Amino acid sequence: MHAVASISQSALNHNLSVVKRCAPHARIVAMVKANAYGHHLDCIAPLIDNADLLGVSELSEAVKLRQKTNTPILLLSGVYSQSELQQAASLNCQIVVHQVSQITLINESKYPSNVWIKINTGMNRLGLSAEEYQQCLIQFEANPLVNIVCVMSHFACADEPAHPLNAHQLTQFEQLTKSANKRSMANSAAILSNIALLDFVRPGIMLYGVSPFVDNDHNLKPVMQLSAPILSIKMLQAGQSVGYGATWTASKKTTLATVGIGYGDGYPRHAQADTPVLINNVLCPLVGRVSMDLITVDISDINANVGDKAILWGDDKLSVNTVAKCSNTISYELLSSISSRVSFVSCP
């Protein structure tokens, strides 16, 4: 009796088909960094089998992914030494070059490399400046061992389509990359807004069935359903409190379910009172503090028994975006924070 994350294979296929419908002419880099946004590399075969490339953040992730597939891998952080460069090449990774020392590293290598050049257009985390990019092009074009696959950049505000930085970044990018062979800019929010689809799109969160727009689900299907069993049911009298700090007190006679999940499993400790939990198809309010192994839910209005399943998120009635909002965070953080105590099950 413990928390389970079931991962829906049909939902993964459906969400991939949404990407294809939105961007029919682009190739797809499925972003599977952070253990596939917390969904586990073992459970995401539809992405691994059907994407053109798989995007990871760091080399350790590429190593794990390569044990499962021969699909090309895009390494977003790139490499920082000759040995990393050699390892990336042996794993058949395409590597992102986003800062000047990486240009030098690649030019000093005796091995062929497939590179993506990342330009900074306004996110200001990673990426070459306009001048560095021009220098990089001159050097790589003179190097027969280097194949420039694509030039990329990343939006800072794609989930706010009206934000002026979007147009600014796209204009910058288009001006700088007029002569580029292949270009890539779009994350999920840009794909769903039909912005900057270009040659390669890089969907992440939408593949997992979560819309980057809290007010529009774009017909995506949730991939992860997180659930846990009711471990105990208690009757509280008015005036009795619940949990650490006794922060919640019953104002009337209350039936309380104690559910076997907590922040030690990745359920957010900051979920506020009234965060919905779906039990027997009814949304019931969380009460009291989230503890490491347990939460408490007011089930006065429903019939439920010990052993019944409580769904924390991943149902048509309860999206991870709702829980994120109630916890003052974003779905990305909740999904990628599920702990190793939770069992992952691949389901149809």
Ligand X SMILES: *Cc1c(COP(=O)(O)O)cnc(C)c1O
Residue positions annotated with a catalytic role: 33, 244
User: CA nearest 302: which of 319, 322, 285, 287?
Assistant: 285
Q: Minimum distance from CB of 302 to ligand X (Å)? A: 35
Q: How far apart are the first and last CA of the chain?
A: 22
Give residues in contact with ligand X (CB under 6 A): 31, 33, 76, 154, 187-189, 202-206, 212
Residue nearest to ligand X (CB): 204
**Mapping DSSP to helix (H, G, I), strand (E, B) and coil, where does residue 339 land?**
coil
CB-wise, 31 or 115, nearer to ligand X?
31
Q: Minimum distance from CB of 34 to ligand X (Å)? A: 8
CB-wise, 36 or 205, nearer to ligand X?
205
- The structure tokens listed for 165 are 């930085």
What does the alpha-carbon distance between residue 75 and residue 201 come to, in Å, rounded to a whole number?
15
User: CA nearest 114: which of 143, 145, 90, 141?
Assistant: 145
**Mapping DSSP to helix (H, G, I), strand (E, B) and coil, where does residue 192 land?**
helix
Q: Minimum distance from CB of 131 to ligand X (Å)? A: 22
Q: Minimum distance from CB of 196 to ligand X (Å)? A: 12
What does the alpha-carbon distance between residue 296 and residue 277 come to, in Å, rounded to a whole number?
10
User: CA nearest 9: which of 313, 223, 319, 316?
Assistant: 223
Would you tell me the crossing angle of helices 130-141 and 100-107 to the nearest 10 degrees?
10
Strand partners, 200: 27, 184
CB-wise, 105 or 189, nearer to ligand X?
189
Q: Minimum distance from CB of 167 to ligand X (Å)? A: 19
Q: Minimum distance from CB of 32 to ligand X (Å)? A: 10
Amino acid of residue 318? L
CB-wise, 140 or 332, nearer to ligand X?
332
What does the alpha-carbon distance between residue 74 and residue 115 come to, in Å, rounded to a whole number?
9
CB-wise, 204 or 260, nearer to ligand X?
204
Contact (CB, 8 A) for 298 and 256: yes
What does the alpha-carbon distance between residue 144 and residue 153 come to, in Å, rounded to a whole number?
24
Q: What length is written for the chain?
A: 348
Q: Which residue's structure tokens are 């000759």? A: 82
Q: What is the DSSP letter of 119?
A: B
CB-wise, 206 or 250, nearer to ligand X?
206
